[in-house]
Amino acid sequence: MIFAGVLFGGALNKKEVVKTKNFGSVNNAITFFSATTTNATSTTASINAYIQGAKRATLYFSRGDTTGTGNSGSTSFSVEVSRTNSTSDADWIDYNKLIDNVTNTNSQTLTRVGSASLSGTSTKMYSLDLENDNLSFIRCISVETTDGNASCRLETEF
Protein backbone atom coordinates (compact mmCIF):
# COMPACT_ATOMS: atom_id res chain seq x y z
CA MET A 1 0.00 0.00 0.00
CA ILE A 2 1.29 3.46 -0.89
CA PHE A 3 0.46 6.42 1.30
CA ALA A 4 0.16 9.78 -0.39
CA GLY A 5 1.48 11.69 2.58
CA VAL A 6 2.65 11.34 6.12
CA LEU A 7 0.81 12.73 9.10
CA PHE A 8 3.04 12.83 12.14
CA GLY A 9 1.53 11.41 15.31
CA GLY A 10 -2.03 10.17 15.60
CA ALA A 11 -4.01 8.43 12.91
CA LEU A 12 -4.18 9.54 9.32
CA ASN A 13 -7.71 10.51 8.38
CA LYS A 14 -7.62 9.54 4.72
CA LYS A 15 -9.82 8.68 1.83
CA GLU A 16 -9.40 5.33 0.15
CA VAL A 17 -5.86 5.14 -1.23
CA VAL A 18 -6.24 4.94 -4.99
CA LYS A 19 -3.76 4.09 -7.72
CA THR A 20 -5.23 4.64 -11.15
CA LYS A 21 -3.90 2.95 -14.26
CA ASN A 22 -4.16 6.07 -16.40
CA PHE A 23 -2.69 8.60 -14.00
CA GLY A 24 -0.65 6.52 -11.57
CA SER A 25 -1.64 8.91 -8.80
CA VAL A 26 -2.27 8.37 -5.14
CA ASN A 27 -4.86 10.50 -3.36
CA ASN A 28 -5.03 11.38 0.30
CA ALA A 29 -7.19 13.61 2.47
CA ILE A 30 -6.85 14.80 6.06
CA THR A 31 -8.97 17.01 8.23
CA PHE A 32 -6.79 19.38 10.27
CA PHE A 33 -9.59 20.22 12.66
CA SER A 34 -13.30 20.45 13.06
CA ALA A 35 -13.77 23.02 15.80
CA THR A 36 -16.71 24.27 17.78
CA THR A 37 -14.53 26.58 19.87
CA THR A 38 -13.89 30.23 19.09
CA ASN A 39 -10.50 29.65 17.45
CA ALA A 40 -8.59 26.65 16.16
CA THR A 41 -5.02 26.09 15.04
CA SER A 42 -3.52 22.81 13.91
CA THR A 43 -0.44 23.52 16.01
CA THR A 44 0.30 20.06 17.35
CA ALA A 45 2.38 17.62 15.36
CA SER A 46 -0.57 15.24 15.20
CA ILE A 47 -2.41 17.54 12.79
CA ASN A 48 0.31 19.11 10.68
CA ALA A 49 0.61 17.51 7.26
CA TYR A 50 3.77 16.50 5.40
CA ILE A 51 3.20 17.35 1.72
CA GLN A 52 6.75 17.25 0.28
CA GLY A 53 6.52 15.96 -3.31
CA ALA A 54 2.78 16.47 -3.74
CA LYS A 55 1.64 17.22 -7.30
CA ARG A 56 -1.57 18.91 -6.22
CA ALA A 57 -3.00 20.09 -2.91
CA THR A 58 -6.43 21.58 -2.32
CA LEU A 59 -7.84 23.03 0.89
CA TYR A 60 -11.51 23.15 1.81
CA PHE A 61 -12.45 25.74 4.43
CA SER A 62 -15.94 25.26 5.88
CA ARG A 63 -18.12 26.84 8.53
CA GLY A 64 -21.63 26.24 9.72
CA ASP A 65 -23.71 25.22 12.72
CA THR A 66 -23.66 21.49 13.38
CA THR A 67 -24.40 21.77 17.11
CA GLY A 68 -27.40 24.11 17.10
CA THR A 69 -25.54 26.87 18.94
CA GLY A 70 -25.82 29.54 16.24
CA ASN A 71 -24.11 30.67 13.08
CA SER A 72 -24.28 34.45 12.91
CA GLY A 73 -20.54 35.15 12.94
CA SER A 74 -17.71 34.64 10.50
CA THR A 75 -14.48 32.66 10.33
CA SER A 76 -11.12 33.72 8.91
CA PHE A 77 -8.92 30.87 7.63
CA SER A 78 -5.22 30.98 6.85
CA VAL A 79 -2.37 28.54 6.20
CA GLU A 80 1.17 28.35 7.51
CA VAL A 81 4.09 26.35 6.11
CA SER A 82 7.38 25.13 7.59
CA ARG A 83 10.53 23.29 6.52
CA THR A 84 10.38 21.30 9.76
CA ASN A 85 7.54 19.89 11.81
CA SER A 86 8.40 22.30 14.61
CA THR A 87 6.27 22.98 17.66
CA SER A 88 7.66 26.54 17.77
CA ASP A 89 5.40 29.13 16.12
CA ALA A 90 8.55 31.02 15.05
CA ASP A 91 9.33 28.24 12.54
CA TRP A 92 5.98 28.63 10.72
CA ILE A 93 5.55 31.12 7.86
CA ASP A 94 2.28 32.64 6.67
CA TYR A 95 1.45 31.22 3.22
CA ASN A 96 0.09 34.07 1.11
CA LYS A 97 -0.27 32.25 -2.20
CA LEU A 98 -3.51 30.31 -1.81
CA ILE A 99 -5.02 30.07 -5.29
CA ASP A 100 -8.62 31.25 -5.05
CA ASN A 101 -11.37 29.40 -6.89
CA VAL A 102 -12.65 32.47 -8.76
CA THR A 103 -13.48 33.10 -12.41
CA ASN A 104 -10.66 34.52 -14.52
CA THR A 105 -10.60 35.50 -18.17
CA ASN A 106 -7.96 34.01 -20.46
CA SER A 107 -5.84 37.17 -20.13
CA GLN A 108 -5.83 37.15 -16.31
CA THR A 109 -3.49 35.26 -14.04
CA LEU A 110 -4.60 33.14 -11.10
CA THR A 111 -5.85 35.04 -8.05
CA ARG A 112 -3.72 34.40 -4.97
CA VAL A 113 -4.74 35.32 -1.43
CA GLY A 114 -3.35 34.94 2.09
CA SER A 115 -6.60 34.15 3.88
CA ALA A 116 -10.29 33.44 3.38
CA SER A 117 -13.27 34.76 5.29
CA LEU A 118 -16.51 32.78 5.45
CA SER A 119 -19.84 33.71 6.99
CA GLY A 120 -23.02 31.73 7.43
CA THR A 121 -22.93 28.12 6.28
CA SER A 122 -20.44 27.90 3.44
CA THR A 123 -17.39 26.13 2.02
CA LYS A 124 -14.61 27.62 -0.10
CA MET A 125 -11.90 25.80 -2.01
CA TYR A 126 -8.28 26.95 -2.43
CA SER A 127 -5.27 25.29 -4.06
CA LEU A 128 -1.60 25.51 -3.10
CA ASP A 129 0.87 26.81 -5.69
CA LEU A 130 2.97 23.64 -5.93
CA GLU A 131 4.22 24.55 -9.39
CA ASN A 132 6.31 27.36 -7.88
CA ASP A 133 6.73 26.26 -4.27
CA ASN A 134 8.41 23.24 -2.71
CA LEU A 135 6.60 22.86 0.62
CA SER A 136 7.29 20.36 3.41
CA PHE A 137 4.75 20.89 6.21
CA ILE A 138 1.44 22.72 6.32
CA ARG A 139 -1.00 23.66 9.06
CA CYS A 140 -4.35 25.44 9.04
CA ILE A 141 -5.59 28.25 11.29
CA SER A 142 -9.10 29.58 11.89
CA VAL A 143 -10.24 32.60 13.86
CA GLU A 144 -13.97 32.77 14.57
CA THR A 145 -16.15 35.69 15.60
CA THR A 146 -19.37 35.20 17.56
CA ASP A 147 -20.29 31.56 16.93
CA GLY A 148 -20.35 28.71 14.42
CA ASN A 149 -18.27 25.63 13.65
CA ALA A 150 -15.16 25.59 11.46
CA SER A 151 -13.26 22.88 9.62
CA CYS A 152 -10.18 22.79 7.42
CA ARG A 153 -9.58 19.83 5.09
CA LEU A 154 -6.60 19.15 2.81
CA GLU A 155 -6.70 16.82 -0.19
CA THR A 156 -3.45 15.93 -1.93
CA GLU A 157 -2.33 14.01 -4.99
CA PHE A 158 1.15 12.52 -5.18
Residue 39: its pLDDT value, please? 53
Structural domain contains residue 1: no
- The answer to whether residue 73 is domain-embedded is yes
- CB 57, CB 136: distance < 8 Å: no
Strand 149-157 and strand 115-119: pairing? unpaired
pLDDT level of residue 127 (50, 70, 90 thresholds): very high
What is the pLDDT at residue 86? 82
Structurally, how many domains does the chain consist of?
1
Helix, strand, coil percentages (3-state) for the chain, rounded to 5, are 5, 45, 50
Q: Considering the domain boundaries, does residue 22 fall inside one?
A: no
* For range 127-145, the mean pLDDT: 89
For residue 18, is pLDDT > 50?
no
- Compute the average pLDDT of residues 65-79: 81
User: How far, in Å, CA of 139 to CA of 33, rounded?
Assistant: 10
Give pLDDT, residue 80: 92
Domain around 134: 31-152
The answer to whether residue 16 is domain-embedded is: no
135 pLDDT tier (thresholds 50, 70, 90): very high
In a domain, residue 104? The reply is yes
Mean pLDDT across 137-157: 85
Residue 148, domain member (yes or no)? yes
Per-residue pLDDT tens over the stretch 98-120? 999 998 877 788 899 999 999 88
Residue 126 lies in a domain: yes
When comparing pLDDT for 26 and 113, which is higher?
A: 113
For the segment 30-60, what is each residue's pLDDT rounded down to a tens digit?
776 655 555 555 444 447 888 999 999 999 9
Q: Answer whether residue 15 is part of any domain.
A: no
